[in-house]
Structure 1
């Protein structure tokens, strides 16, 4: 649409013609003087085109720009609201972190069925299962003890093997932003870096009951019901320490060492004070 040399009338300055135009400014020569206006805002308010066809095209362009402006404003408002909600969540998160007290058993060990193992290691997340009874029956378990200091130990045993043959398949720290009390869907995602999967040979050298014992029956190796247990912090540190020794690949060993150091820092564990494993397999 070419507006140059088009006749216009201004409510104050009278009739003139367009002599210059860009995306944001228009200049009109009124004979005795030239005036610059904001384009296209001046039209429809103070300036009128004489050419009806051009005026209609200009009107359509102004309406389109106004629609785009409103859409941009709406998008900005939505972004502002999203930012506000993120700020609220961050403040709530910081408050929870500030008030968080380390629980001595804030780690999770989970029983992976064969069909769950692929998902656990491909997606690096696990499901804590459903509540089996009471008014909340069928709802996901909320892993309330898990926090940023928590790890998830992945275990399994063959259906034709006794419980004492349960093996450790891998381990990961929970996601950096994860807080168990806020977990409504029972999904526990992994940390972006601290995650380890053991080979079949390595798993055979990491029996679960070497490390874990039931407080009520410390000499028994029974899982009973449910797909997860809370696990002692120092016991997971023992497992990570043994994984370091188990790894032969330098890069994997370095990751295991970094994982161990991070875990001990998050759980206020001194490596020098870490006891040896004392699960029922060690007393058998």
Structure 2
């Protein structure tokens, strides 16, 4: 927009002519002196341009600048809110966890066989298995990495299925008082509130390998031995968030949202910064 030599009227300095302007400033000649102003802010309250078509274009520019200014203010306020949330999460986590050092991969995915697909939900607990070697051979396997911030993901696949088709059946936070290092019997009980069982239709939409990846062999989707694996806190948060979107029942959706919020608090995860799933299935 070329405004050079355009006539304007300033409330204080009177009639003048524009001699210079760019995206941020404008210079106007008033009789015996030149004055510089912020562009386009000076127009509207203090300065008016005589040409009506130019006035209309300037009004559009001012409106656009105002929208950009408000968006910038909104972004800054959002950043402040985000930082406050992070601080609250950290303080709450310190209070809840006290002497426990947060591990970035303190979640468990459990392989349910046919019987366990029923018992896991009727009893709301899983068994970590028996040690097959070492000094403690024959004793229950201690899930030492699990703590109050941990959740257990229940998965299964039919014998006719490929491993890549492993489905998520449900999920629960560990019991409020559970400490894996102190677990002597190998049983991992569920939290009194945060526990979710998926319907068959929901499970078909939630495949484990959409979230999980073996960093050493990212192209492989194999699970040959062992009843469970530890995996990343962020991956569990991604799964919980997707469960929220799957739930159509109001009460179930509310519980899933509360579960997700509680999990994020316990693991110092900010929901707004949660990355998209990037498991092995997304890389095919």
TM-score (norm 2): 0.66
Q: Which residue of 2 aligns with 1:183?
A: 183
TM superposition shift of 1:98: 2.4
TM superposition shift of 1:135: 2.0
| Aligned-partner SS, 2:145 | coil
Larger Rg: 1
Extract structure 1 runs of 4+ deviating beyond 2 A. 95-98
Q: Which residue of 2 aligns with 1:198?
A: 198
TM superposition shift of 1:160: 1.2
Q: Which residue of 2 aligns with 1:146?
A: 146
Which residues in structure 2 correspond to 1:269-280 (within 5 Å)?
A: 269-280=269-280
Alpha-carbon distance in structure 2 between the residues aligned to 1:148 and 1:109: 16
Alpha-carbon distance in structure 1 between the residues aligned to 2:200 and 2:96: 39
Superimposed CA distance per residue, residues 154-177 of structure 1 (whole angstroms, 9 cap, x where no aligned partner): 000001111001000000000000
TM superposition shift of 1:97: 4.3
| Aligned-partner SS, 2:118 | helix
Which residues in structure 2 correspond to 1:122-133 (within 5 Å)?
A: 122-133=122-133
- The alignment yields a C-alpha RMSD, in angstroms, of 1.6
Alpha-carbon distance in structure 2 between the residues aligned to 1:266 and 1:206: 23
Q: Which residue of 1 aligns with 2:82?
A: none
Say whether 1:218 aligns with 2:218: yes
Q: Which residue of 1 aligns with 2:20?
A: none
Q: Which runs of 5+ in 2 are unaligned?
A: 1-94
TM superposition shift of 1:262: 0.2
Say whether 1:246 aligns with 2:243: no
Alpha-carbon distance in structure 1 between the residues aligned to 2:116 and 2:173: 18
Q: Which residue of 2 aligns with 1:234?
A: 234
| Aligned-partner SS, 1:99 | coil
Q: Which residue of 1 aligns with 2:136?
A: 136
TM superposition shift of 1:130: 1.0
Q: Which residue of 1 aligns with 2:170?
A: 170
| Aligned-partner SS, 1:269 | coil
Superimposed CA distance per residue, residues 12-69 of structure 1 (whole angstroms, 9 cap, x where no aligned partner): xxxxxxxxxxxxxxxxxxxxxxxxxxxxxxxxxxxxxxxxxxxxxxxxxxxxxxxxxx
Alpha-carbon distance in structure 2 between the residues aligned to 1:279 and 1:123: 30
| Aligned-partner SS, 2:98 | helix
Which residues in structure 2 correspond to 1:38-77 (within 5 Å)?
A: none
Q: Which runs of 5+ in 1 are unaligned?
A: 1-94
Alpha-carbon distance in structure 2 between the residues aligned to 1:218 and 1:252: 34
Q: Which residue of 1 aligns with 2:89?
A: none
Alpha-carbon distance in structure 1 between the residues aligned to 2:273 and 2:200: 30
Alpha-carbon distance in structure 1 between the residues aligned to 2:222 and 2:101: 30
TM superposition shift of 1:103: 0.2
Which residues in structure 2 correspond to 1:261-272 (within 5 Å)?
A: 261-272=261-272
| Aligned-partner SS, 1:170 | strand
Q: Which residue of 2 aligns with 1:260?
A: 260
How many aligned positions are there? 191
TM superposition shift of 1:96: 11
Q: Which residue of 2 aligns with 1:51?
A: none
Alpha-carbon distance in structure 2 between the residues aligned to 1:96 and 1:145: 17
